[in-house]
Amino acid sequence: MINKVTSHISQNEHLIFERSQGGRVGYRLPPLDVDETPIDELIPAELRRDDDLEGVPEVSEVDVVRHFTRISTWNYSIDLGMYPLGSCTMKYNSRLNEKVARIPGFANLHPLVHETDAQGALEVIYELQQYLSEITGLAGVSLQPAAGAHGEMTGVMMIRAFIDARDGREESAKRRTMLIPDSAHGTNPASAMLAGFTVKAIRSTAEGFTDLEHLRELCAKGDVAGFMLTNPNTLGLFEKNIREICDIVHGAGGLVYMDGANMNALVGVARPGDMGVDVIHLNLHKTFSTPHGGGGPGSGPCCCTKELEPFLPVPRVVKDGNVFRFDYDRPQSIGRVKAFYGNFGMMVRALAYILTHGAEGLREATEAAVLNARYIAAGLVSDYDKPFEAPPMHEVVFTDKRQSRKGVHTLDIAKRLIDYGFHPMTIYFPLIVQGAMLIEPTESVGRQELDQFIEAMRSIAREAKENPDLVVGAPHSTRIGRLDEAAAARRPVLRWKPKEAASAA
């Protein structure tokens, strides 16, 4: 057992509220340069705070810098090493993209300035729309959605609006079923629900593909509005029958939505529009490398066919001659999904990513990402159960089937991987694979590090046979051990309170 290094000062940084000391300050503003009016004349006392902001910390600038620098060291990060979370596409985040997003002409631009004074920003939006349209093979693009799930909601609402317009409200009301594979991300059914659809699950075959017979059976009921498909699917396999799938859904009067979370396997190689997909969202914070920031911001552009374009959110950014402008005159639009125009700062970064790669570089990244996943698949197949035969694309799924005989489960393997210096893979997803371990290396990992990862996983497989307790008790090298999540959910403590108040409660 390795002793945890919790005695070190930087390992014991308390909450900022516990650091706070009355009278400390971390800021200085210029003195007020206008005549001061007695505050009672401006805002009556009953509308003003009377708690003197009690509890808000009082700390110096040094306190803040040490506080966050210390706690930052408790995080794993891409810059530290491979972050093989399946379905999350944790690739390198270029500092150049950060630099361009901080150019004052972008960073200090207010969203409500007149469009003639923001031509550069509109150009960024327009140009990115053009490239995303080219990459997906779909004509219409809106950059307004703020994240993948937001793009999904936008896309399924567009499907609903399209069918309403095509069939008339009365007929359309009979089509309220959204088909979703049982392997899908949880956001898919949650987004479909927001658009008022009833969700029906499509089974996956033993080989890991959409069950076409089940799809035909459900499509035959005549109530299908659409099918939400991830491709490559969440098992990392390309749905080779995609053309047929689209034909079945279209033949039944439905539309095909593609969850673009796994586009890192396809950019420059194949385009959803050419496969028959009607609408897709992309994750700029996955495929196009905008930083994930510990949980966002994301950006979830929605791309669609010409037929669906009238239903995209307002406003659209269009080009008249050499002038860019917002187009609000879109009577069939589903409406606005976010104030202003989306996460613009992420658009700047994604455009910089695309231009830094160029057409060749984008394809090269796709090839490298798939090759890295294949390499891991080949390296681990002798030690771990690989439930699907088909060659994986950018991510590969294994299970704990062999290790669980010794009482070592996926969670234990993931935690033990931390001791070897790696961030764990995605675990227990997709839900249809018992003890799933979904590994996505991305293109941002070199061969030595892949070898180290494979070696670490093999070593854990050996430990699972020879010394299972070592794995079950992992991690051993971190500041804290496994936290009791069940207890945390039973009696949730969701905020700090001063000692007296906490004990009184």
Please, which of residues 285-344 interact with another protein by CB under 8 A? Answer: 285, 291-299, 313, 334-344
Q: How far is the CB of 32 from another protein (least distance, A)?
A: 6
Q: How far is the CB of 62 from another protein (least distance, A)?
A: 10
- The residue from 128, 129, 179, 185 that contacts another protein (CB under 8 A) is 185
User: What residue type is 86 in one-letter code?
Assistant: G
Residue 458 interacting with another protein (CB under 8 A): no
Based on CB atoms, which residue is closest to another protein, 48 or 405? Answer: 48
Part in contact with another protein (CB under 8 A); list of ranges 220-228, 303-311, 355-363, 460-468? 355-363
DSSP 192-206: HHHTTPEEEEEPBPT
- The residue from 5, 10, 73, 327 that contacts another protein (CB under 8 A) is 73
The Cα 159–Cα 487 span in angstroms is 42
Part in contact with another protein (CB under 8 A); list of ranges 165-173, 183-191, 213-221, 250-258? 183-191
Q: How far is the CB of 472 from another protein (least distance, A)?
A: 13
Residue 460 interacting with another protein (CB under 8 A): no
Q: How far is the CB of 202 from another protein (least distance, A)?
A: 14
Based on CB atoms, which residue is closest to another protein, 160 or 214? Answer: 160
In terms of Cα–Cα distance, which of 116, 188, 119, 121 is closest to 149? 188
Part in contact with another protein (CB under 8 A); list of ranges 114-122, 166-174, 248-256, 463-471? 114-122
On the question of a cis peptide bond just before residue 291, with omega within 30 degrees of 0, the verdict is no
Residue 409 interacting with another protein (CB under 8 A): no
Residue 258 interacting with another protein (CB under 8 A): no
The Cα 362–Cα 87 span in angstroms is 19
Residue pair 196/156 in contact (Cβ under 8 Å)? The answer is: no
In terms of Cα–Cα distance, which of 269, 266, 264, 226 is closest to 248? 226
Residues 377-396 contacting another protein, CB under 8 A: 377-378, 390-391, 393
Residue 500 interacting with another protein (CB under 8 A): no
Based on CB atoms, which residue is closest to another protein, 296 or 468? Answer: 296
Strands 396-398 and 437-439 come out as antiparallel
The Cα 75–Cα 8 span in angstroms is 16
Residue pair 471/416 in contact (Cβ under 8 Å)? The answer is: yes
Residue 416 interacting with another protein (CB under 8 A): no
Based on CB atoms, which residue is closest to another protein, 335 or 466? Answer: 335
Token pair of 33, please?
Answer: 């340069």
- The residue from 3, 7, 108, 382 that contacts another protein (CB under 8 A) is 108
- The residue from 72, 205, 434, 467 that contacts another protein (CB under 8 A) is 72
Any idea of the CA torsion for 36, 39, 43, 45, to the nearest 10 degrees? 180
Residue 452 interacting with another protein (CB under 8 A): no
Which H helix or E strand runs over 371?
helix 344-380
In the chain, the N- to C-terminal Cα span, in Å, equals 39
Residues 195-254 contacting another protein, CB under 8 A: 195-196, 199, 237-238, 240, 242-243
How many residues of this chain bind another protein (CB under 8 A)? 199
Residue 482 interacting with another protein (CB under 8 A): yes
Separation in Å, CA 150 to CA 132, 138, 337, 345, 417: 17, 19, 8, 17, 33
Based on CB atoms, which residue is closest to another protein, 196 or 222? Answer: 196
Q: Within 13 A of 228's CA, how many CA atoms are on the CB side?
A: 36
